[in-house]
Amino acid sequence: MSDNLDIQENPLSDAPEMDAEAKEAAANAAEYEHGWSAEIDTEFAEKGLTEDTVRFISGKKGEPEWMLDWRLKAFRLWEQMEEPDWAKVGYPKIDYQDAYYYAAPTKKVELDSLDDLDPDIKAVYDKLGIPLGEQEVLAGVKGAKKVAVDAVFDSVSVATTFREELKKAGVIFLSISEAIKEHPELVKKWLGKVVPQRDNYFATLNCAVFSDGTFVYVPEGVRCPMELSTYFRINAENTGQFERTLIIAEKGSYVSYLEGCTAPMRDENQLHAAVVELVAMEDAEIKYSTVQNWYPGNSEGVGGIYNFVTKRGLCQGDRSKIRWTQVETGSAVTWKYPSCVLNGEDSVGEFYSVAVTNNFQQADTGTKMIHNGKGSRSTIISKGISAGKSNNTYRGLVRVGPNADGVRNFTQCDSLLLGDECGAHTVPYIEVKNPGAQIEHEATTSKISEEQMFYAQQRGLDEEEAVALIVNGFAKDVLKELPMEFAVEAQKLLAISLEGSVG
Amino acid sequence: MLKIENLHAETAGKAILKGLSLEIRPGQVHAIMGPNGAGKSTLANVLGGKPGYEVTGGSVEFMGQDLLDLDPHERAAAGLFLGFQYPVEIPGVSNVQFLREALNAQRKVRGEEPLSGGEFLKLAKEKAGLLGMDMDMLKRHVNVGFSGGEKKRAEMVQMGILAPSLAVLDETDSGLDIDALRVVGEGINAIMRPQGGAADKGVLLITHYQRLLDVVKPDLVSVLADGRIIETGGPELALRLENEGYDAVMAENLGAAA
């Protein structure tokens, strides 16, 4: 499977340069709102990456032998691989031996309720404006709808809530570390089946050193009674983050999963290489929503997260459906293509994306829709917003296999430019091996016009409010696909991300 | 409420307004007429604070404040409304969302409490009704897919909701058929000079044609030519312009000045 899934090399890619003068000009631009660091004791693995590091991580987590073997196999593969350079992003060479690969909060306790949460960690959430308590209040107001939060803090889960209710429904919602111990048969069956160990450099690295993440299993016919949610946060200096998520939706089941994150300010670049695997069986549906707000670096392009993520969903069963919705505002460098492999007949893949880049951010993101099943359909809606001196690339692949009759795809890529020093690029790859496929691609590039700005300002909005309004309008087709709780947060995030980008 | 004195302004390096003076008192409708290129739209844009227009001399006082010292959104909050000749489309943003955010932004600047969703919808429904616009239309995106007439009607609904003390309407009658013109004209009357209401609002009505003035009766009519007001009179001046044309009035004026 893996050979089929690699995105095509882009021979035209080149790395944008950052010159000192340009940096200076952006110096007055927006500062990161969530830029602070909480003081929580952290236990590190030694710097660098060797077989011993992999053994240390596995041992620290008390993993069974088969898991360690799996990690070591990946590590040996990774040693033979080369870092890819086809994306339209440029960054200093990463010294993989000069990073930490494991950090865990030392106060690790099982909690009965959120009240027992480490006060420091609680304070972190409060500062972020996403306190766990608020989620419960929100749920109360909205009646039956609840949000379960599995708080991943610095690589290790420290709080899990609503577990009882989920248990009643038969839904398994655990950290991946727990799942390895409690449900080894499920993990063994699916781990690495959607994103194979040798898939790509960063995914392989993740296989070797993944720290923690989430595991969800929804049994046949079960509609998950609440939105599942995880907040990620990097909190230790120089700590590579390697989240691993696996979601399995059995026949006729449904689950909606929300992932959101933000990180504190610091100067050194941090590598984040997550792997997310989704499996949807017959008639199953998975919605995976992300609001990504990793630290993007300061206004001069210093620091910020490198976000090299592999996300892929397998629509294995007939009439199965996977929808990716993402709002990407953070990270210095983003390399991310949430994809769907549509094996089932009449299966459906959807990708809704808003990617915002400001200052010196670089984003190369998009999706792959691999149509193998007859009558499979996909929709791609991508909205790229570039400001400052940033670069924003949509890169997407629509592939139709020879046996996939009656395939349909609709792709719309819109780019919005703020100012005249940023870049927007669209790189669609289309490979059709079945003549019956119906593929549509639409693309637009526009600028926020002076006329629009003046119109909104004349009605009473200040400059930043006017930009926020226009940008949110531009991104509306995507934002409306987000669950309510996220949509509000996402709108605010768009406005915050673009602060200082006008005038 | 509005006092313009010896205003000079240029755009793209070209002087357009060359010593324009004008005063509007509460309750007055003041029509500005004049040939193309005289500076009518420039006047509206300068009052609104549009980027690209530079004031090179003179002063503008609005409600006791130095208008030229305010940012565009502050001018709006102070009670200035600009009716656009070519209203702009904002895709993805409904009229309801746009106007509620705009109104609450204005209220914030003025130190007033924001309107709740319910309060706003009630207000919007009432004002839309004045212009014969239904709520479905208000739920559509700002000016997207609107006909010329609908856009102008929507402008007037915006004016009704934002309730300015001074409306500067830049050729609001352009692109309207006779029926739409009547609806818009009556809308202006209902919003800016309500029957039995306090006569405390002012209107600066920029137009080419007498037909709007048949519905919105001006108190004063001024002729703008080559960046200056060359003559001001009562409603009869507009009729004379209609009958004799700008050239005759301008020639006479220039003759008198000589």
Confidence grade of residue A89 (pLDDT, cut at 50, 70, 90): confident
B/e letters for B53-91, b = 16+ CB within 10 Å, e = fewer, are: bebeebebebeeeebbebebbbbbbbbbbbbbbebbbbb
CA A348 remoteness from chain centre:
20
Residue of A412, A415, A455, A464 to mutate, interface with B, max B Cβ within 10 Å: A455
Interface of B with A in 19-78 (CB under 8 A): 48-52, 71-73, 75-77
Q: Name chain B contacts of A462, Cβ cutoff 8 Å.
A: 71, 73, 105
pLDDT tops 80 at residue A104? no
Q: Which of A308, A302, A301, A414 is nearest to A355 (CA)?
A: A414
Give the Cβ contact number of residue A443 at 10 Å. 14
A454 part of contact set with chain B, CB < 8 Å: yes
> Which chain A residue is nearest to residue B141, measuring alpha carbons?
A473
Query: In sequence order, what DSSP letters do the residues of A348-396 get, joined into one string?
Result: EEEEEEEEEE-TT-EEEE--EEEE-STT-EEEEEEEEEE-TT-EEEEEE
**d(C-alpha A340, C-alpha A499), whole Å:** 34
Q: Which helix (H) or strand (E) holds A484?
A: helix A484-497
> Which chain A residue is nearest to residue B144, measuring alpha carbons?
A473
Mean pLDDT in residue range A232-261: 75
A495 part of contact set with chain B, CB < 8 Å: no
Of B52, B88, B101, the CB nearest to A455: B88
Residue of A458, A464, A476 to mutate, interface with B, max B Cβ within 10 Å: A458
Contact A457 B76 (CB under 8 A): yes
Contact B76 A472 (CB under 8 A): no
Distance from CA of A130 to the nearest CA of B (A): 24
Of B51, B81, B82, the CB nearest to A450: B51
Angstrom distances, CA of residue B104 to CA of A94, A406, A452, A461, B73: 48, 50, 19, 9, 12
- % residues pLDDT > 90 (chain B): 72
Q: What was the ipTM of the complex prediction?
A: 0.95
- % residues pLDDT > 70 (chain A): 74
Tokens of B110: 């003025």
Q: Name chain A contacts of B77, Cβ cutoff 8 Å.
A: 460
pLDDT tops 60 at residue A272? yes
B99 part of contact set with chain A, CB < 8 Å: yes
What are the pLDDT digits (tens) for B235-251?
A: 999 888 888 888 887 77
> Which chain A residue is nearest to residue B85, measuring alpha carbons?
A455
Q: Which helix (H) or strand (E) holds A279?
A: strand A275-280
Of B50, B77, B90, the CB nearest to A460: B77
Angstrom distances, CA of residue A239 to CA of A34, A154, A259, B18: 18, 9, 20, 65
Tokens of A44: 């590190």
Tokens of A482: 């987000």
Give the Cβ contact number of residue B246 at 10 Å. 18
pLDDT tops 50 at residue A136? no
Contact A475 B92 (CB under 8 A): yes
Confidence grade of residue B258 (pLDDT, cut at 50, 70, 90): very low
DSSP A100: B
Q: Is A330 exposed, middle or buried (0-12, 13-18, 19+ CB in 10 A)?
A: buried
Q: Which residue has the higher pLDDT, A99 or A75?
A: A75
* C-alpha angle A213-A179-A292 in degrees, rounded to nearest 5: 15
Q: What global pTM score does this model have?
A: 0.78
What are the pLDDT digits (tens) for A158-168?
A: 334 566 678 88
Q: Name chain B contacts of A466, Cβ cutoff 8 Å.
A: 73
**d(C-alpha A62, C-alpha A178), whole Å:** 10
* Torsion-angle region of A237 (φ positive above 0: left; ψ -120 to 50: alpha; else: beta): beta
CA A361 remoteness from chain centre:
16
B88 part of contact set with chain A, CB < 8 Å: yes
Strands A305-315 and A339-342: parallel
**pLDDT the model gives residue A25:** 33
* C-alpha angle A24-A25-A31 in degrees, rounded to nearest 5: 85
A451 part of contact set with chain B, CB < 8 Å: yes
Angstrom distances, CA of residue A198 to CA of A3, A80, A97, A297: 9, 10, 20, 30
Contact A457 B109 (CB under 8 A): no
